[in-house]
A and B are shown apart, each in its own frame.
Chain A
Amino acid sequence: DTGVSQNPRHKITKRGQNVTFRCDPISEHNRLYWYRQTLGQGPEFLTYFQNEAQLEKSRLLSDRFSAERPKGSFSTLEIQRTEQGDSAMYLCASSPVGASNQPQHFGDGTRLSIL
């Protein structure tokens, strides 16, 4: 079990630039989740996939955000035209097949800083 892997660990960029993050879930997990966490808050749900299908998106996910999981394995989260309010930790998690009651396993996160 190699765990959930996220890259990069840190990203610093100027406002208005586009950024893309990658998440590699635990290999046998078919569900993959994206969360965003700001200082002093719990993680907030953004979106999740079952295999390659995106099943739910939060209203937090504006049209500047897009997520993909093209082959049902790794996923990418892209933010276009970044704003200072996008500065946060972006967390990816995965869980096993048929896992409505199973806990999610988190990656180490990508910390985004917008200058």
Chain B
Amino acid sequence: QKEVEQNSGPLSVPEGAIASLNCTYSDRGSQSFFWYRQYSGKSPELIMFIYSNGDKEDGRFTAQLNKASQYVSLLIRDSQPSDSATYLCAVRDDKIIFGKGTRLHILP
């Protein structure tokens, strides 16, 4: 059974600081990794994907992948109150396997 593990939080971060969200996965053969943001009562929204080891930056977001450690992270710089949401880490097989999500709360 392939698994994706995340700390459920809540993770509280002051506005303007860096939020760091972490995720581990069980299948060493996994190739594609995604971060989705989900506001309460809404569907998941893709914010980042990464396939190669290293960092990938998009605006205030940086995804980091370490396949040797089976570890994926998401950094959010200059955190804003609108970043308060649940962040879902996901691994693509043919379907997507999601973690349970980390609740992020940005403190004004």
Measured between beta carbons, the chain B residues less than 8 angstroms from A44 are 98
What mask results when residues 26 to 53 of chain B are scored 1 for a CB within 8 Å of chain A, else 0?
Answer: 0000011010000000111110010100
Q: Which residue of chain B lies nearest to A92 when distances are taken between CB atoms in the complex?
A: B43
What mask results when residues 1 to 30 of chain B are scored 1 for a CB within 8 Å of chain A, else 0?
Answer: 000100010000000000000000000000
Measured between beta carbons, the chain A residues less than 8 angstroms from B96 are 33, 43, 45, 93, 104
- B49 CB to nearest A CB, Å: 5
Measured between beta carbons, the chain B residues less than 8 angstroms from A93 are 96
State whether the Cβ of A25 lies closer than 8 Å to any Cβ in chain B: no
Q: Which residue of chain B lies nearest to A109 when distances are taken between CB atoms in the complex?
A: B43
Measured between beta carbons, the chain B residues less than 8 angstroms from A107 are 43
Closest 5 CB pairs of A and B: A42-B98, A106-B43, A45-B95, A101-B32, A109-B43
Given A42-B88, A101-B31, A101-B51 in contact, is the A91-B94 Cβ separation under 8 Å? no
Q: How many A-B residue pairs have CB under 8 A?
A: 53
Interface size class on chain B is 20 to 34
The interface size of chain A toward B, counting residues with CB under 8 Å, comes to 23
In the bound complex, how far is the Cα of B100 from the Cα of A33, in angstroms? 18
Q: Is the CB of A100 within 8 A of B44?
A: no
Max chain B C-beta neighbours (<10 A), residue from A55, A91, A103: A103
Give B contacts to A, CB under 8 Å: 4, 8, 31-32, 34, 42-46, 49, 51, 88, 90, 92, 94-101
Max chain A C-beta neighbours (<10 A), residue from B32, B94, B97: B94
Given A103-B46, A108-B43, A109-B43 in contact, is the A42-B100 Cβ separation under 8 Å? yes
Q: Is the CB of B101 within 8 A of A105?
A: no
State whether the Cβ of A41 lies closer than 8 Å to any Cβ in chain B: yes
State whether the Cβ of A48 lies closer than 8 Å to any Cβ in chain B: yes
Q: Is the CB of A41 within 8 A of B100?
A: yes
A residues 55-96 near B (Cβ < 8 Å) are 55-56, 89, 91, 93
Measured between beta carbons, the chain A residues less than 8 angstroms from B101 are 41-42
Q: List 15 A-B contacts (CB under 8 A).
A: A33-B95, A40-B100, A42-B101, A43-B88, A45-B96, A48-B94, A48-B95, A56-B94, A56-B95, A89-B43, A93-B96, A100-B32, A100-B92, A101-B51, A107-B43
